Chains A and B, each alone.
Chain A
Amino acid sequence: MLRIATAGSVDDGKSTLIGRLLYDAKTVQDDQLAAITDASRRRGDAHTDLSLLTDGLRAEREQGITIDVAYRYFATPRRTFIVADTPGHEQYTRNMVTGASTADVAMVLVDARKGVREQSRRHAFLAALLGIPHIVVCVNKMDLVDHDERVFASIAEDFAAFAAPLGLTTLAFVPISALNGDNVVTPGTARMPWYTGPPLLGLLEDMPEADAEPRDPVGARLPVQYVIRPQGGEHRYYAGSMAGGGLRPGDAVTVLPSGRTSRVLALTGPDGPVEYAYPPMPVTVTLADQLDVSRGDLICRTGDEPPTARDLEATVCWMSEHGRLRAGATYLLKHTTRTVRARVTDVRHRLDVNTLATDPRADELALNDIGRVALRVGAPLPHDPYRRNRATGAFILIDEATDNTVAAGIILDMDTETADRGPDDHHHGREHT
């Protein structure tokens, strides 16, 4: 299963490309096609508007834009795909982040006529920030630039220069025409003989998943979600989803933040006892000793415990249109299965996603801003840096006044990152300082 998030500016044709992908991969059913053909005709379009396959909301169809993420599912004989079609408008960046947080691959669209624009850069940066290691850049609307190889090459060069500091595992480029279907599912050889790579779908079929080979894997991590106590039974079963490493019966474990130790007595998965549990497997664990373990605790392998801290450094994306993020404000912070209070003690800097430059004078973050903050949390938080483990390195901030999710955060690595450097800077810093 490969999770793909689309990204790009408004009108770059993301929804049309997904429609094309679904249509050419023969996953659009007759009634769906009939419905959108009908809808296209009613609004006077000459051709069937494939973007209507994903723009499902009334407001989206009225305005011809994507407001919120739509999830689409398709399979080829080789692979199953989940595509999050995310909005291009800057005002909906938070919805883009929603779609990208779980993705393995980001598919960034660039309009061949317009070249790399701010939203393409923003999305590529966000994708990298969220730990998506693979980006496929689709240079779309090649039909409108006479299928000119030089246009494609120049955009690829621009993009590669911008993306160099992002530390991506894969950066691939495909010249396409979503409208005509060239290089989407089938090769566009007739019109673009100069492109010899695989079409987009072929590229995606061969793409490794994000966590296929972690560069710096952590030991066993099991955030306790729920304690199961069968009536009349003696044992307490600690239920949770494996969030890092692997666990076997007999393993010595430490429960954080208490630091108490025990041994895994038994591990049970959805189908009964298991000899080895790994992410994202849901399990229940029984321990050899009676310990006080509850929701929010982290069971981890003894000898490979993560740091536990009340002061965190994090990069956050601010997602609220009501108010800004400033030092002194208090929020609820949800991290794995634990929710604690957190105060912003400092806004370290704001990031300019166009240049990747940091502005250390910034003292607040507005809607869709990305920056670095220092947080003080209400209880010790066992965590990993996001770059080592997405599950134990991510958090959200919730505004208690509105109950809304107002920020997405990733925890930085205190050992390697100093106070005035951002998550990107261990690459970026080398070039510009």
Chain B
Amino acid sequence: MPHRLPHTKALEAEAIHIMREVAAEFANPVLLFSGGKDSVVMLHVAAKAFAPAAVPFPVLHVDTGHNFPEVVEFRDRYAEHLGVRLLVASVQESIDTGRVVEQTGPRASRNRLQTTTLLDALALHRFDAAFGGARRDEEKARAKERVYSFRDEFGQWDPKNQRPELWNLYNGRHRDGEHIRVFPLSNWTELDVWRYIADEAIELPSLYYAHRRKVFERDGMLLAHTDVVTLLDGEFPVEETVRFRTVGDATCTGAVRSHAATPHDVLAELAATRTTERGATRADDRVSETGMEDRKREGYF
């Protein structure tokens, strides 16, 4: 009887392999860490990949300034707990220095502005590889992306001209000013991530579990009522028991009604759900049929 790794362990094995390749072949990698569940899982895997030594690269958060406070608190605490160096790149600073212009109006979002802040931070620190927690099951443009995704000197992704990627032989070659985005969780699904969180007892920001919160409905989504959103006519906040399936900018991340209080509750809930996590919760993907592809081409996560 041949030995087999269980499914989540096989996914973990693949992610560890990818992270060790990057640590060995790149001069200056960084891990993009938002405090969201995928980046927390990625950092958890990194800690295992390099044990008993510390994680040999820093983590970077692109801070829109519109974060949920409990996520920022978690981000700081978790990075300190693992002993990794946390860098924060601020979208507010990009706005203040005139690198980007803030959108106006009640539907303004800083989501797209993050790209400039991210690319500036990668250039400033001369990072040549950036780990992202994106998964191919999330979105149709992401389903097309390689594990090693080459970015030119402008940070652009060219989806029609990707390098062939064979076996586990990744090609990380690049010139000065170019970089590679690396996605160790490419083959994980939302369910896999939650199974892994349950198996490994990984701590997450509290808003991933059911809690009482003031929310209002917009475009069929429940948005948190925070001081960074402006209510439109006919919108009024009500208190509901909700949780978040994804955690991003507070202006465009929707909540779902839920009573799931533990990873196992979440797994049970996901088994019964009929919408994808981005469909349920991300206003930024509803802009157009190819919203994600267009943002990714520009250098988005």
Interface residues of A (CB under 8 A from B): 1, 29-32, 35, 39, 53-59, 61, 67-73, 75, 80, 82, 94-95, 97-98, 101-102, 211-213, 225-226, 228-231, 233, 237, 239-241, 246, 268, 270-271, 276, 278, 280-282, 284, 295, 319, 332, 334-335, 337, 390-391, 394-396, 398, 403-405, 408
Do A57 and B7 contact each other (CB < 8 Å), given the known contacts A212-B2, A270-B16, A396-B171? no
A29 CA / B281 CA spacing, docked (Å): 14
Interface residues of B (CB under 8 A from A): 2-3, 5, 7, 9-10, 12-14, 16-17, 20-21, 23-24, 48-53, 136-137, 139-141, 143-144, 146, 159-160, 162-169, 171, 173-175, 186-187, 189, 191, 273-276, 279-280, 289-290, 293-294
9 A-B pairs whose Cβ atoms sit less than 8 Å apart in the complex? A29-B276, A56-B139, A68-B160, A73-B137, A213-B2, A225-B20, A280-B5, A337-B24, A395-B169
On chain B, the residues within 8 Å of A334 by CB distance are 169, 171
In contact, B171 and A58 (Cβ under 8 angstroms): no
The residue of chain A having its C-beta at the shortest distance from the C-beta of B171 within the complex is A405
On chain B, the residues within 8 Å of A396 by CB distance are 164, 166-167, 169, 171
In contact, B166 and A101 (Cβ under 8 angstroms): yes
In contact, A230 and B52 (Cβ under 8 angstroms): yes
Do A408 and B13 contact each other (CB < 8 Å), given the known contacts A73-B189, A403-B174? no
In contact, B141 and A403 (Cβ under 8 angstroms): no
In contact, A241 and B189 (Cβ under 8 angstroms): no
On chain A, the residues within 8 Å of B143 by CB distance are 54, 56, 70-72
Beyond A30-B274, A94-B164, A95-B164, 10 extra complex contacts between A and B, CB < 8 Å:
A67-B160, A68-B160, A73-B187, A98-B146, A98-B166, A239-B49, A241-B168, A282-B12, A282-B16, A319-B164
Do A35 and B289 contact each other (CB < 8 Å), given the known contacts A246-B3, A337-B24, A398-B173? yes
On chain A, the residues within 8 Å of B273 by CB distance are 29
Closest 6 CB pairs of A and B: A56-B140, A31-B279, A403-B173, A282-B16, A101-B166, A278-B3
Question: Which of B9, B175, B280 counts the most A-chain CB atoms under 10 A from its CB?
Answer: B9
The residue of chain B having its C-beta at the shortest distance from the C-beta of A241 within the complex is B17
The residue of chain A having its C-beta at the shortest distance from the C-beta of B165 within the complex is A98
On chain A, the residues within 8 Å of B159 by CB distance are 57, 59, 68
On chain B, the residues within 8 Å of A246 by CB distance are 3
In contact, A241 and B53 (Cβ under 8 angstroms): no
B180 CB to closest chain A CB, in angstroms? 10
A98 CA / B163 CA spacing, docked (Å): 9
A42 CB to closest chain B CB, in angstroms? 9
A368 CB to closest chain B CB, in angstroms? 11
On chain B, the residues within 8 Å of A394 by CB distance are 166-167, 169
A225 CA / B50 CA spacing, docked (Å): 11
A201 CA / B111 CA spacing, docked (Å): 40
In contact, A29 and B3 (Cβ under 8 angstroms): no
In contact, B144 and A69 (Cβ under 8 angstroms): yes
The residue of chain B having its C-beta at the shortest distance from the C-beta of A334 within the complex is B169
On chain B, the residues within 8 Å of A281 by CB distance are 5, 13
A245 CB to closest chain B CB, in angstroms? 11
A334 CB to closest chain B CB, in angstroms? 5
In contact, A68 and B162 (Cβ under 8 angstroms): yes
A137 CA / B13 CA spacing, docked (Å): 31
On chain B, the residues within 8 Å of A295 by CB distance are 24
On chain A, the residues within 8 Å of B12 by CB distance are 270, 282
On chain A, the residues within 8 Å of B163 by CB distance are 404-405
In contact, A228 and B13 (Cβ under 8 angstroms): no
A203 CB to closest chain B CB, in angstroms? 21
In contact, A68 and B144 (Cβ under 8 angstroms): yes
In contact, B279 and A32 (Cβ under 8 angstroms): yes
On chain A, the residues within 8 Å of B171 by CB distance are 334, 396, 398, 403-405
On chain A, the residues within 8 Å of B166 by CB distance are 97-98, 101, 394, 396, 405, 408
Question: Which of B10, B23, B49, B294 counts the most A-chain CB atoms under 10 A from its CB?
Answer: B49
A257 CA / B182 CA spacing, docked (Å): 30
On chain A, the residues within 8 Å of B294 by CB distance are 58
Question: Which of A1, A59, A213, A405 counts the most B-chain CB atoms under 10 A from its CB?
Answer: A405
Do A237 and B141 contact each other (CB < 8 Å), given the known contacts A56-B293, A280-B14? no
A358 CA / B273 CA spacing, docked (Å): 54
The residue of chain A having its C-beta at the shortest distance from the C-beta of B175 within the complex is A403
A387 CB to closest chain B CB, in angstroms? 15
A365 CB to closest chain B CB, in angstroms? 15
A322 CB to closest chain B CB, in angstroms? 11
In contact, B50 and A228 (Cβ under 8 angstroms): yes
In contact, B52 and A405 (Cβ under 8 angstroms): no
A268 CA / B289 CA spacing, docked (Å): 46
B157 CB to closest chain A CB, in angstroms? 11
B121 CB to closest chain A CB, in angstroms? 24
On chain A, the residues within 8 Å of B139 by CB distance are 56
**Which of A95, A230, A335 interacts with B53 by CB under 8 Å?**
A230
A281 CA / B165 CA spacing, docked (Å): 21
In contact, B24 and A225 (Cβ under 8 angstroms): yes
**Which of B7, B160, B164, B169 interacts with A1 by CB under 8 Å?**
B7
In contact, B160 and A57 (Cβ under 8 angstroms): yes
In contact, B10 and A1 (Cβ under 8 angstroms): yes
On chain B, the residues within 8 Å of A39 by CB distance are 289
A69 CA / B187 CA spacing, docked (Å): 13
A313 CA / B236 CA spacing, docked (Å): 71
Do A282 and B17 contact each other (CB < 8 Å), given the known contacts A73-B187, A319-B164? yes
On chain B, the residues within 8 Å of A30 by CB distance are 274-275, 279
On chain B, the residues within 8 Å of A211 by CB distance are 2
A268 CA / B16 CA spacing, docked (Å): 13
On chain A, the residues within 8 Å of B50 by CB distance are 226, 228, 239
A27 CA / B274 CA spacing, docked (Å): 9
A367 CA / B164 CA spacing, docked (Å): 13
On chain B, the residues within 8 Å of A95 by CB distance are 162, 164
On chain A, the residues within 8 Å of B276 by CB distance are 29, 31-32
On chain B, the residues within 8 Å of A101 by CB distance are 166-167
**Which of A1, A61, A71, A390 interacts with B186 by CB under 8 Å?**
A71
B131 CB to closest chain A CB, in angstroms? 15
On chain A, the residues within 8 Å of B9 by CB distance are 270
Do A59 and B160 contact each other (CB < 8 Å), given the known contacts A282-B20, A394-B167? yes
A420 CA / B51 CA spacing, docked (Å): 49
A288 CB to closest chain B CB, in angstroms? 18
Do A97 and B141 contact each other (CB < 8 Å), given the known contacts A35-B289, A239-B20? no
The residue of chain B having its C-beta at the shortest distance from the C-beta of A230 within the complex is B53
A337 CB to closest chain B CB, in angstroms? 7
